[in-house]
Amino acid sequence: MITIVAGAMLIRLPVSQTSSHVLSLTDALFLSTSAVCVTGLTPVDISVVLSPAGQGILLFLIQIGGLGVMTYTSIIFLLWRDYVPFNSREAVSQSLLGGSFSLKAFLCQVLGLVFGIEAVCALLLHRINPTFFSPFSAVFHAVSAFCNAGFCLSSDSLMAFRNDIAVNSVITGAVFLGGIGFGVLREMLGMLSGGKLGAPVRRLSRFSRLVLKTSIFLIVTGSSLVFCIEFFRVGNEKALGTGLDLAITAFFQSVSARTAGFNTVDVLSLSEASLLVYMILMFIGGGPGSCAGGIRVVTFRVLAGYMAAQFRGDRQIVLEQRGVPEENISRALTLFFLYSSTIVLTTFLLTVTENGILHRTGDHGIPLLRVLFEVVSSLGTVGLSANLTPELSNEGKIIITINMFAGRVGLLSLLMAIQSLQPKKPYLTAEGQLPIG
């Protein structure tokens, strides 16, 4: 929250804005939240409203949000006192890796991976198209892609590169690597280097295999569904392309919809069926301990395994040859319920604020699907929009801002913070059966 407020104040400085535009406090807060929460939704055209200094501040906020608050806090402790408190080490361990490790070595490896991948991506983008991807633009888009932010220094995102295989490959590669998590990246680096760099492993862990297999499955399934839907739909050939062009578009948008928020086509040109597919991908999101949002792929696998076990009548969920503890199942079901409830509540609030009900203006209603798409995108910190963000009222922007914050901090984290304030009951009440279903 402190970072968001500080970012909003910096973005509102005269030096951060062009002479012909003045950013309101609500828009500055929205933009800062979107950057720190690596979402990518923006109520203004940042290529027009923000000056080079403002774009640099936005880039810094995106980098902070991508690496994560706990990572930066630990770095500050190391630089300040050459020591990280036990609770910070445990927090980073549980959030990013799920095991014990040397935090100092881990942070050095994470910084090396992040800046290394971003540097390679920036060099490739500049080499491919030095006109659009100037040195600053290349760095900005590389950081935005790896951090899964989706901000672009163009009013139409990456629509100019819809059929550019090279640009699509670099952006999707950076998005994918940023969305699988630092723990998985360390293990991949360890395997490629024979254990000399990254994690000292020669085989991917169960967690990494789950993340990679599920991520690839979601991308392939999403791409195939959208390609088939749009291939058989009549009248979209000019907007989305045909054949190979459509396949490139479907693949790029499926990768982007899970985590990033870049778009190479106008989202409104997609069919409602395709938008529903993308909403499912946004809801699931990326890997734990990554720059991505959503309920995360491991939660999705646990939920899918839970449903499969119910159909088979199994007493245990088995993923990658290991059973899943009851605590994991309970947390997954709780997270699914929290996300679903938040989406329903936020959608309801936006239908009140954006359809003239709140101010009794009698405005024409915004289609429910556009509102729902915006809500899922903001909570999943994705950043795709059906062109609704600039149209939002101040109340609507505040609602989406809260949504982005909750999605990045994590609904389970917020729930545990509330639970910590409640007194623990020293007893259990006698149970009684209820008819279910």
Q: Dump pLDDT digits (tens) for 90-133.
A: 555 555 554 545 667 777 778 888 899 999 999 999 999 999 99
CB 125 within 8 A of CB 154: no
pLDDT tens digit string along 360-369?
776 667 889 9
20-75: pLDDT as tens digits: 888 899 999 999 999 999 998 999 999 899 999 999 999 999 998 887 766 666 66
Report the pLDDT averaged over residues 371-389.
Answer: 91
Q: Are strands 318-319 and 322-323 parallel, antiparallel or unpaired?
A: antiparallel
**pLDDT band, very low/low/confident/very high, at 292 (cuts 50, 70, 90):** confident
Q: What is the pLDDT of residue 365?
A: 76
pLDDT of residue 94: 54
Q: What is the number of residues in the chain? A: 437
Measure the CA–CA gap between 98 and 105, rounded to whole angstroms.
16
* Sequence-ordered list of residues with C-beta below 8 angstroms from that of 148, at least 6 positions apart, any chain: 38, 66, 175, 178, 179, 259, 260, 261, 286, 290, 291, 292, 293, 381
Dist. CA 128–CA 421, nearest whole Å: 54
Q: What is the pLDDT of residue 321?
A: 86
Please, are residues 331 and 412 in contact by the beta-carbon 8 Å criterion? yes
Residue 88 pLDDT exceeds 70: no
pLDDT at 76: 63
Residues 187 and 199: beta-carbon distance below 8 Å: yes
State yes or no: pLDDT of 342 exceeds 70: yes
| Residue located via tokens 């892609």 | 145
Q: What is the DSSP-derived secondary structure letter of residue 50? A: B
What gap in Å lies between CA 334 and CA 310, rounded to an integer? 17
What percent of the chain is modeled with pLDDT above 90?
Answer: 49
H or E element that contains 80: helix 69-81
CB 141 within 8 A of CB 153: yes
| CA pair distance 54, 45, nearest whole angstrom | 12
Q: Which of 56-65, 245-254, 256-265 has the least mean pLDDT?
A: 256-265
| Structure tokens that stand for 358 in this block | 């709140």
Q: What does the CA dihedral 326, 331, 337, 342 come to, rounded to 10 degrees?
A: 180
Residue of 388, 237, 204, 380 lying closest to 295 (CA atoms): 380
Cα-only R_g, the chain: 22
Token pair for 9: 């104040």
pLDDT at residue 140, as a whole number: 95
Q: Which stretch of 82-96, 97-111, 129-143, 161-175 has the lowest confidence by average pLDDT?
A: 82-96
